[in-house]
Amino acid sequence: MASTSVRDVALRAGVSVGTVSNVLNRPGKVSPSTIERVHAAIEALGFVRNDAARQLRAGRSHSIGMVVLDVSNPFFTDVARGAEDRAADEHLTVLLGNSDENADRENAYLDLFEEQRVHGVLISPVGDETVRLERLLRRGIPTVLVDRQTDDDRFSSVAVDDVAGGYLAVRHLLDTGRRRIVFVGGPESLAQVTDRLAGARTAVGETSDATLDVIETDALTVLQGRMAGERIRDLEPSDRPDAVFAANDLLAMGVLQALSMLGAVHVPEEIALIGYDDIDFASAAIVPLSSIRQPSALIGHTAVDLLVREAASPDGFVHEHVVFQPELVVRASTARRP
């Protein structure tokens, strides 16, 4: 059945469309008897003002709101795909928003999801949003933190141990004989970056003749990786590192592009390179990229599973903090020196 329009309500109530709009938006301008006639027509026709009102009438939305840091990063689209697969089991849909690592954009999506009274929220947070997420909770909207470790018992969370992942990456570089390592990643406001760097420092600290320098980037993108790679390429060969650990695969792809430009630097012979996430492009790169694999689809699937269980029994729900272990995937970009 086609949805009822404002015009249908106006005809039924014997008033103009403008009067119906006044009843809905500026009732102070309309006589009580007219308000009563219009509301009787709305009720009789089942008119719903907009999607949010329909969902309010239904009591709860059939959508899950999801905010990720960078929708152009295949890691997050893989997470979203896993979330969608689990949501479909519950006949729920996923509304995907991109914060672009920007707190204002993230808040705009959280406001929208609150207005829509979504079934729940999945968020890979830019910073510490617990005060804002607490407000959602008070509105009966549960939230699961994705790709963020926490011990906050108000929210469930699903993540990978990024400290262990950073350790694995640099331990592997050291085991292949590299000693002058550069970490490329940023901003350091992101927990994923600082955790991976912390693991890298631990691995280097175990090897007396190893060094670790940091090139902080403004974002975790191919462009930022290219800029970091150009800085490394432009160093005197004797001043260059012999290995790069990039905080994610997009950065690593950018570093690889810059180093390989015009055959300037040979990967891995002169500089080994390892990324993080193991997105599909990693294995297809011009020099297949070693990486630290995250079970991205499983992260999304697990997050929705936690969310639907909490939404079904909110009172006394015991929140869980799921932490997956990262996996080293070795490819050509870190092969031992000949």
Report the distance separating Cα 43 and Cα 228, nearest Å.
62
Give the shortest CB-219-to-ligand RIB separation in angstroms: 8
- Is there a contact between 207 and 174 (Cβ–Cβ < 8 Å)? yes
Q: Which residues pair with 97 in a beta bridge?
A: 67
Contact between 106 and ligand RIB by CB under 6 A: the answer reads: no
| 220 binds ligand RIB, rule: CB under 6 A | yes
Which ranges constitute the DSSP H helices of 3-73? Answer: 6-13, 17-25, 32-45, 51-58
Q: Is the dihedral of CA 112, 114, 116, 120 positive or negative?
A: positive
Residue number with CB closer to ligand RIB (277 or 305): 277
| Least distance CB 327 / ligand RIB (angstroms) | 13
Q: Are 112 and 65 in contact (CB under 8 A)?
A: yes
Check: CB of residue 92 under 8 Å from CB of residue 308.
Answer: yes
Is residue 195 involved in binding ligand RIB (CB under 6 A)?
no
* Count of residues that interact with ligand RIB, criterion CB under 6 A: 10
Binding test (CB under 6 A) with ligand RIB, winner from 69, 126, 285, 303: 69
Report residue 320 as tokens: 């869980």
248 makes contact with ligand RIB (CB under 6 A): yes
Q: Does 70 bind ligand RIB (CB under 6 A)?
A: yes
CB of 325 to ligand RIB, least distance (A): 14
Nearer to ligand RIB, 182 or 246 (CB): 246
Structure-block tokens of residue 166: 């950073």
Closest approach, Cβ 215 to ligand RIB, in A, equals 17
Using CB under 6 A as the binding rule, whether residue 253 contacts ligand RIB is answered as no
Contact window for ligand RIB (CB under 6 A) among 6-14, 65-73, 90-98, 176-184: 65-73
Q: How far apart are CA 197 and CA 185, in angstroms?
A: 8
Interface with ligand RIB (CB under 6 A), residue from 147, 242, 278, 305:
147
Among 277, 278, 305, 310, binds ligand RIB (CB under 6 A): 277
Give the x-and-dash track for 33-52 against ligand RIB (CB under 6 A): --------------------
Q: How far apart are CA 143 and CA 146, in angstroms?
A: 9
Query: Helix, strand or coil for residue 66?
Result: strand
Span interacting with ligand RIB, options 6-14, 70-78, 203-211, 320-328, rule CB under 6 A: 70-78
Convert 17-39 to b/e letters by CB count within 10 Å (16 or more is b): eebbebbbeeeeebeeebbebbb
Interface with ligand RIB (CB under 6 A): 69-70, 73, 75, 147, 192, 220, 248, 276-277
